[in-house]
A and B are shown apart, each in its own frame.
Chain A
Amino acid sequence: MATSATVHAHAPQGFIRKYIFSLDHKVIGIQYFFLALTAVWVGMFLSLLMRIHLLWPGASLPLVGEIKPETYLSLLTMHGTIMVFFVLTTAPQGGFGNYFLPIQIGAPDMAFPVLNMLSFWTTFVAFVTIIAAFFVSGGAPLHGWTGYPPLSAIPQAGPGEGLGADLWITSIAIFCLASLMGALNFLTTTLDMRAKGMTMMRLPLTVWSWFITAILGLLAFGVLLSAGILLLMDRNLGTSFYVPLVVVNGQVMGHKGGSPLLWQHLFWFFGHPEVYIAILPGMGVTSQILSTFSRKPIFGYKAMVYAMLAIGFFGFMVWGHHMFMSGMSPYSAFAFSLLTMCIGVPSAIKTFNWLGTMWGGHIRFQTPMLYAIGFVSLFVSGGLSGPFLAQPVLDIQLHDTYFVVGHFHLIMGVAAIFGMFAATYYWFPKMFGRMMNETWGRVHFFITLAGTYAIFMPMHYLGIAGGTRRYSQYTELAYLQKLMPIHQFMTYAAIITIAAQFIFVINLFWSMFRGPRASDNPWQSTTLEWTTATPPPHDNFGGVTPVVNHGPYEYGVPGAARDYVMQTDPATISSH
């Protein structure tokens, strides 16, 4: 068999093989990370334009000029799509998962390195494709990130629904292929490449979260791919899968008999698991960090694993709760409602276990820990409005209002992003060999935490008061006009929060080159990535294969000189 040393000798030297078309999972992880970082700035800029437009509808803004209603719709479509696919799906799984899953299980690389490279570059092509939609005639599509037909299926339905919408669907289809390749690689790697002694129940919870996310991705993205192909056919080949008999601008379209609900079913069969694809890696890294910085074993390791599996399992059976308003049978709605509420149980188990982990621990309030605690806070705040929306009766009132926007931004958007921040501050030393600035990390945390609550909590009030989402102006309707002060408050909060993100980016790049050198294990953590050099060598462990003797979270060990036992420490430290 190959020793890792032979592989080590084969580390590529040329710039292109080493940094561009690299097969090294660590380089690919960093590529994913920077792709997501670029995407999140694009997405954030779009949201800034929207928030400014809501306050000053007539204002002319940089790059886009005056925002017309259709421009506003294309902004929200692109904001949602870019954020969901190229940030929330890309960074936690493609970025950190790629970098750390092989190291945490003691493998020298992913199972299929070429496939790994392909999946990154396919994602990149998908990103370029969706950005291209801004620059074609008609501009970006208007149909929202959910792409409901008939609007999304008829090129004549509005500006941006022509070539822009084709690019949008094509981009998502390409993204699906990339995600499927990635998921296949993650699953095979986790199942087949674990080091000796790394049993499934010794996997760090981060690995479990990436593993379960990959299962969800494997089963969900294929469905979106099929749905997208049907949509492309409706648009370009004259079929009628989704489009009924419709008249656009007095002109009868050639379609008849299709069902827009068919798209909704297929889309949400993907769309709901997608929520967990975004949040599960955040749960994993939060568990890892809370345990490390509380210096305590994770509370209920097995319960955490089973809770994640349960969340993934139920995640496939609740898509109908996005469609309560579609005229669905009340009996179906009841079933979907009940199943949705079921997800509250494993979610609560996780939350209580996180609190139990921190309880009585010697907590170290460093930046990764702050973000992990922030994740728990946002997960609770955003999660609690879930059971509201899961009630068909309440959903009739709240559907398509800012209540929903507030709910999913807190839980799927900001909580997942807090997971990414936590992961960045936590793993930055291992990835780049230097420490990030702690003081500015804390400043960034407190402004971002307060800022995101200030942006998204008022949305709940707005929604209860009847504030509809996706309207480009609230100045024309008397009852909505009264809500404008809330919009003002949210916009100012958004401007401050976005400004604070410069602190993060400057800290990131400054620390990359000027930060103090990091030791191999700066957080005194136990998992395998901290046993190797900083940054890890090409084959991860410098010619040796780790042997695992312990579980992942053995902190606060009584009677020890050191309060933690690393996974590779000798087995003489008995594991009962």
Chain B
Amino acid sequence: MATYSPTTRVGQLGGGGDVLPPSNGGGDDGGFQGSSLPNYGARLRRARLGLICAIATVSMVFISLTSAYVVRQGLPTYDGTINSYVRDWGMVQLPWQLLAINTLLLLLSSLTMEAARRDITRRSALAPLKSIPGIALGDEKSFPWLEVTVLLGLGFLVGQWFAWGELKSRGFFVDTNPNSSFVYLLTAAHAVHLLGGIIALLWASITSLQHKPVEGRRIVVDVAAWYWHFMAVLWIYVFALLAFAR
């Protein structure tokens, strides 16, 4: 616990803001709303931290759904006609080929997403050089990785839509049996979260058309990329759960 040292000049202590030194860094106060000279490094760190929290909470949603899945699967149900307990989990014929294609699409999109992230990271690192007189970086045409990722992501969602249609045509509806309920629930929950990622990517694409600073866009793309990879891992998990814990 702090105590006064004998040399303290107590009389000079001020309680008000007037004794405070001017802003001298710490890197923590840049980049909030309204700032005209944002500190991109601090903003990126902050956005990544926020993303970790978001991933934690999305994980909790899927952990609780998994827990419900496992519990519901093991529940015995009383069947009055045979006077004993039976398992009513039921079976679902998953459209394997379609789901495999969707999985490939999503994994591919993860690769293009990573390419987009690295591309914009490189460009944002070079951005300060452009302001130096006499330095021209050339009018480089970068591949539209972001747009390709959005297309692949939308392709995955359309593929999932077809997968649900296939399930329907095979006679498996949401309320057919608990197994089919969970198939729809888990795939839909993942699709909703992926849609959030697509919206973030679309936003990043739109801001690139508005010629906003590349450093700011890089933050959106970086965070969206990590989220996107998480979505890919999450899909593998959901797929594995549906495939192996039937």
Contact of A219 among B30, B60, B72, B185 (CB under 8 A): B60
Pairs A–B under 8 Å by Cβ, sample size 15: A108-B32, A183-B53, A218-B56, A219-B56, A222-B60, A226-B65, A230-B185, A269-B64, A530-B15, A541-B17, A545-B23, A551-B1, A558-B3, A560-B10, A573-B8
CB distance from A3 to the nearest CB of B (A): 5
Alpha-carbon distance between A550 and B22 when the two chains are bound, in angstroms: 18
With A192-B45, A219-B60 known as contacts, the answer to whether A562 contacts B10 (CB < 8 A) is yes
Q: Are B2 and A576 in contact (CB under 8 A)?
A: yes
Binding site for B on A (CB under 8 A): 1-4, 6-7, 10-11, 23, 107-115, 180, 183-185, 187-188, 191-196, 218-223, 225-227, 229-230, 233, 237-241, 244-245, 254, 256-259, 262, 265-266, 269, 297, 520-521, 530-533, 541-547, 550-551, 554, 557-562, 565-566, 568-570, 572-576
Once the chains are docked, how many angstroms separate the CA of A180 from the CA of B193?
Answer: 14
Residues of A within 8 A of B159 (CB): none
Chain B CB within 10 A, most for which of A180, A221, A269, A521:
A180
The listed residue with most B CB atoms (<10 A of its CB), out of A254, A265, A543, A570, is: A570
Contacts of A544 in B (CB 8 A): 17, 20-23
- Most chain A beta-carbon contacts within 10 A, residue among B22, B60, B185: B60
Q: Do the beta carbons of A572 and B8 come within 8 Å of each other?
A: yes
**Taking the nearest CB of chain B, how far is it from the CB of A195, in angstroms?**
6
Contact B49 A188 (CB under 8 A): yes
- For B58, give its contact among A183, A222, A237, A562 (CB under 8 Å): A222
Option from A191, A259, A574 in Cβ contact (under 8 Å) with B75: A259
**With A1-B25, A113-B32, A223-B64: A229-B1 Cβ-Cβ less than 8 Å:** no
Chain A hits for B14, CB < 8 A: 569
B20 engages A184 (CB within 8 Å): no
Asked if A562 and B13 sit within 8 Å, CB to CB, the answer is yes
Q: Does B209 contact A (CB under 8 A)?
A: no
Q: Which residues of B contact A259 (CB under 8 A)?
A: 71-72, 75
Given contacts A187-B53, A192-B46, A561-B11, contact A10 B34 (CB under 8 A): yes
Q: Most chain-A Cβ atoms within 10 A of its Cβ — which of B12, B32, B42, B61? A: B32
Docked Cα-Cα span, A109 to B29, in Å, equals 9
A residues in contact with B155, CB < 8 Å? none
Q: Are A184 and B50 in contact (CB under 8 A)?
A: yes
Q: Cβ of B199 < 8 Å from any Cβ of A?
A: no
Q: Please, which residue of chain A has its CB at the minimum distance from the CB of B58?
A: A222
11 extra A-B contacts, CB within 8 A, seeds A2-B30, A576-B2: A184-B50, A193-B29, A196-B26, A226-B64, A241-B68, A520-B15, A544-B21, A545-B24, A557-B2, A561-B11, A572-B7
Q: Does B119 interact with chain A (Cβ within 8 Å)?
A: no
* Cα-based distance from A234 to B238 in the complex (angstroms): 21
Known: A7-B35, A226-B64, A557-B3. A545 touches B26 (CB 8 A): yes
B53 touches A188 (CB 8 A): yes
* Residue interface bits B47-84, CB-to-A below 8 A is 1, else 0: 00110011011111101110110011001011000000
Which residues in A have their C-beta under 8 angstroms from that of B63?
Answer: 223
- 7 smallest CB-CB distances across A and B, nearest first, come from A238-B175, A222-B60, A257-B77, A10-B34, A575-B2, A196-B26, A2-B35
- Chain A residues, Cβ within 8 Å of B31: 2
Contacts of A257 in B (CB 8 A): 75, 77, 88, 178
On chain A, the residues within 8 Å of B22 by CB distance are 3, 544-545
Q: B72: which of A113, A226, A262 is its contact (CB, 8 Å)?
A: A262
A6→B10 contact, CB < 8 A: no
Residues on A with C-beta less than 8 A from B16 are 520, 531
* Contact, CB under 8 Å: B174 / A238: yes
| Inter-chain contacts of A188 with B (CB < 8 A) | 46, 49-50, 53
Shortest CB-to-CB span from A238 to chain B, Å, is 4
A193 to B29, CA, bound (A): 7
B159 CB to closest chain A CB (Å) equals 23
* B174 A219 Cβ-Cβ under 8 A: no
B9: min CB distance to chain A, Å: 7
Residue of B nearest to A297 (CB): B1
B36 interfacial by beta-carbon distance below 8 Å: yes
Chain B nearest CB, measured from A549 CB (Å): 9
B88 touches A225 (CB 8 A): no
B5 on interface, CB distance cutoff 8 Å: yes
Q: Report the bound CA distance from A95 to B168 in whole Å.
A: 47
> From residue B34, how far is it (CB to closest CB) to chain A in Å?
4
| Interface pair A225/B32, CB less than 8 Å apart | no
Question: In the bound complex, do residue A193 and residue B185 qualify as a contact, i.e. CB atoms below 8 Å apart?
Answer: no
A218–B53 touching, CB < 8 Å: yes
B33 within 8 A of partner (CB)? yes
